[in-house]
Amino acid sequence: MSLTPDKNISGNESQMNQVGNICENETSFDPVKHREEWLRRLADEFIKLESVMPMANFLPDEGLPKWVEKLELEVGATMYPAAKLKEELKLTPRRLGAIFGHQCAVAVWMMDWLAAELEKPQTVDDNSITPEQIQKGAEYLVKMTDEWYPALRRLAKRALCSCVDQQYADMKEFLLAYAGAFAQKPSGPGASSFGNTAFVIYNFMLLYWRIVERLNSVHHLHEVLG
């Protein structure tokens, strides 16, 4: 009797070990951790888009008055209504899908508005605008069309494709929220198209919050707005 191990037996044992490793990996899968890592990754990539936005965030990270913080939240809630930003800020497939959907809808709206404006150029008084302002406007448009918009499209593609690797319920929540928010593209030009007549005033107050902070009252603000 030969004491040499049977090659077939050794091969079978190797295959069994591989199957055992696969089963062990499958049973160790943590759906909660998988979801959290997916959502955190998408959220971090979305935040990075701010670095290529045509207009950087003009609000400081710290030291804002409470009313400015509340107003900033109000603006965000108006721009991303399906994300329900006024509720507990917890990352969920539904909330993140809504944020992506709204942002993509706004991007399409901006490109449509820009294309419409380019089709009907208007004559501008050369004395009312400086060469520096023209240059700054051109840089803004280039950054928006050549950097920010393509970057957003690439991220949206990755976000939508990544749904396929998620659990059914998470994929469903993300896609339904994305579609619902994307369907709410502003209907016309101008900030007033965001469905809230106060939205323009909110943005004005945020842009000039330091001046508004020095005003005596709401009545004083009305007088300034004319």
The reply to whether 47 falls in a domain is yes
| Other Cβ atoms closer than 10 A to 83 | 24
CB 91 within 8 A of CB 37: no
The whole-number pLDDT of residue 21 equals 54
CA atoms of 37 and 72, how far apart (whole Å): 27
For residue 59, what are the domain limits? 28-189
Domain tally, the chain = 1
CA atoms of 49 and 218, how far apart (whole Å): 35
Provide the token pair at 63.
Answer: 């030291």
CA atoms of 117 and 226, how far apart (whole Å): 28
CB 181 within 8 A of CB 83: yes
The whole-number pLDDT of residue 23 equals 46
CB 193 within 8 A of CB 186: yes
The reply to whether 209 falls in a domain is no
The reply to whether 82 falls in a domain is yes
CB 179 within 8 A of CB 191: no
The reply to whether 217 falls in a domain is no
CB 181 within 8 A of CB 98: yes
Among the listed residues 3, 178, 165, 194, the one whose alpha carbon sits nearest the alpha carbon of residue 106: 194
CA atoms of 31 and 35, how far apart (whole Å): 6
The reply to whether 224 falls in a domain is no
The radius of gyration computed from the CA coordinates of the chain, to the nearest angstrom, equals 26
- What averages of pLDDT result for each successive group of 10 residues across the chain (226 residues)? 49 55 60 92 92 71 80 83 86 95 92 82 68 80 89 95 94 96 83 67 72 67 59
Longest dimension (CA), the chain: 107
CA atoms of 75 and 78, how far apart (whole Å): 5
